[in-house]
Chains A and B, each alone.
Chain A
Amino acid sequence: MSYDDWFRKDRLPHIFCAGCGNGTIINCTLAAVDQMNWKKEDTIFVSGIGCSSRAPGYILTDSLHTTHGRAIAFATGVKMAKPDFNVVVFTGDGDMAAIGGNHFIHACRRNIDLTVVCMNNQIYGMTGGQGSPTTPRGCLSSTTPAGCNEAPFDLCDLAIAAGANYVSRWTSYHVKELEKAVKVGLETPGFSFIEVLVQCPTAFGRRNKFRQVMDHVEYLRSHSLLKAKRDRLLEKNQPVPEDMFVVGELMKRNRPALGVKP
């Protein structure tokens, strides 16, 4: 089986915009899933509402496309009822960090054996570009026409503080790193959280000086600071650049987990 076999091909073409990075993330996730030697019938994809949450509809397994923000709560029911299942959640920044924030932190606290891939495009894409809890300060959206004046969430810090066993952050540029991170997430018992910063040319890019898709991808690449480099800067008491975000494996531990395969 190759990762191509995981796609539900009669659902194509997909609804993602030209230049969207969500497909890249689905590819990386399925490439990692394909290396797990999992049976399709034991693998369940769950999502909420938004662009990211359309992903399970394009995957040939049992899948739940649920209500806005609630994917992790539904997935908790699936996993607790059937710990034998491999349960993967696709979500986005609006879905998971705004309306679903409570379910997210409690799933981290329970350390339930799910893998959550969050496509963070820093905006509400499907509803047409409203500000989200991860929209950076100063960025334009249809509901922050003068620039966002709220602080964004650091989703990885949140997951670590709340108790998740595995946390990593990459971008849609880092496809090989992302695939590896998802695989480690799938292998790690307990709650695994992978945040992926992703370009959204339609809703974010055109409002924020990334009129070309690759300009935004290049921005994501050049503003990524490897965790190892960040740690070296901290060791030397040197300042960490404020406009960069840390990528890499940010947490891997083995706290007691819930819903692990017997």
Chain B
Amino acid sequence: MTRVEFWQGNTACAEGALAAGCTFFGGYPITPSTEVAEHMAAKLPKKGGVFIQMEDEIASMASIIGASWTGARAMTATSGPGFSLMMENIGFAVMTETPCVVVNVQRGGPSTGQPTMSAQGDMMQVRFGSHGDIAIIALCPATVQEMYELTIKAFNLADKYRVPVFLMTDETIGHMREKIIVPDTVERVGRKPFSAGSPPFRVTDKDLIPGFPTFGTGQHVHVTGLTHDERGYPAATHPALHEALVRRLVDKIENARYEMADYDVINPDAEQVFVAYGAPVRTVMQVMHDKKDKNIGFLRIRTVWPFPEKALFAFKNAKRFLVPEMNLGQIAREIERHVCVPVRTIPKLGGELHTPKELVAALEEKP
């Protein structure tokens, strides 16, 4: 039986994690994400899982990677300053192909910035923040319902692609209370089984993903952040091997961008097209509702990274893309790379949502 709840976004995130079978949470308190950790601290041990409050976000990220290798579905939650500290071990998770879920309830930056206010300023950091060439998956919920559903999806994608998956939400959605319909069962996609005895990082499938040799199963796998060969052994001065490894780590995500793409195309014949993710989706929905104009299109994106650029081409008559973001135009720049028509950024800093009036003003301005 499904049930109806009235939950805060951060609660929905934690409940989604529990429903997905998360058994390990390592975290550190930080506004505005703390409710996720608090909810996990209260609920996870009762379900036989482990909650541990680590000494900082560097250690939080390390702990979930360690737990993941034992087979656990592992998660942490943070906000900007903690996210910056996690960059080091996010790179390690990418290099070692460790499934894990990181929730970033974004707040105003840079630095300590606005702890209690909303922002989307970490959208480029999540994609490019860790050093070296990496590819990751980032999901952006716009409702409390999506907080729940995309958290579950994040665990499934992390296990399937062996990569850290980020729930890039914001203070608005994290702290908002909304009706949510909780399903009684959820889909779980596990890790690709490992064929015993084969080299642990050998890839034979087209999806470029190796099977997962869980610790404790007698495979004697050596996991290192150094450039490694298919046996997992360090081979850090081998140019061709390094290139092949990094290309595979990036390609396994980028090649699957449409397999995992999650977006809605509304009014595909429109000439003026909004593109939004996360909290600004709500203001765009209000404008769409108020205007009821088939000439206003809307691309609502849930999987922001890898960016599903073909979604933009669904709008064949588009003369202009309007991109409201709670930053100075981070994903707008990604859109500019793919389209030949003007891209109008509608940046909003300060911590408050765009008002419908602000979006309408941008819509009605003369080119």
Chain B residue, CB-CB nearest to A65 = B224
CB-contacts of B37-95 with A (<8 A): 50, 52, 54-56, 58-59, 62-72, 74, 88-89, 92
Q: Is the CB of B88 within 8 A of A82?
A: no
Q: Does B245 contact A (CB under 8 A)?
A: no
Q: Does A1 contact B (CB under 8 A)?
A: no
Residues of A within 8 A of B216 (CB): 41-42, 62, 82, 84-85
Q: Does B204 contact A (CB under 8 A)?
A: no
Query: How far does the alpha carbon of A65 sit from the alpha carbon of B233 in the complex, in Å?
Result: 10
Residues of B within 8 A of A81 (CB): 23-24, 50, 66-67, 70-72, 74
A216 → B minimal CB distance (Å): 28
Q: Is the CB of A85 within 8 A of B215?
A: yes
Q: Does A80 contact B (CB under 8 A)?
A: yes
- By CB atoms of chain A within 10 A, which of B54, B89, B219, B221 has the most? B54
CB-contacts of A73-124 with B (<8 A): 73-82, 84-85, 102-103, 106
Q: Does B217 contact A (CB under 8 A)?
A: yes
Chain A residue, CB-CB nearest to B231 = A10
Query: How far does the alpha carbon of A56 sit from the alpha carbon of B234 in the complex, in Å?
Result: 12
Q: Is the CB of B63 within 8 A of A74?
A: yes
Q: Does B132 contact A (CB under 8 A)?
A: no
Among candidates B59, B218, B221, residue contacting A76 with C-beta atoms closer than 8 Å: B59
Residues of A within 8 A of B233 (CB): 11, 57
Q: Does B223 contact A (CB under 8 A)?
A: yes
A98 → B minimal CB distance (Å): 14
A140 → B minimal CB distance (Å): 29
Interface residues of B (CB under 8 A from A): 23-24, 26, 50, 52, 54-56, 58-59, 62-72, 74, 88-89, 92, 215-226, 233-234
List 24 contacting pairs A-B, 8 Å CB cutoff, sorted by A. Answer: A8-B222, A57-B222, A57-B234, A60-B220, A61-B220, A62-B69, A62-B215, A62-B221, A64-B69, A65-B225, A73-B63, A75-B66, A77-B26, A77-B62, A78-B66, A80-B50, A81-B66, A81-B74, A102-B56, A102-B59, A103-B55, A103-B62, A106-B55, A106-B59
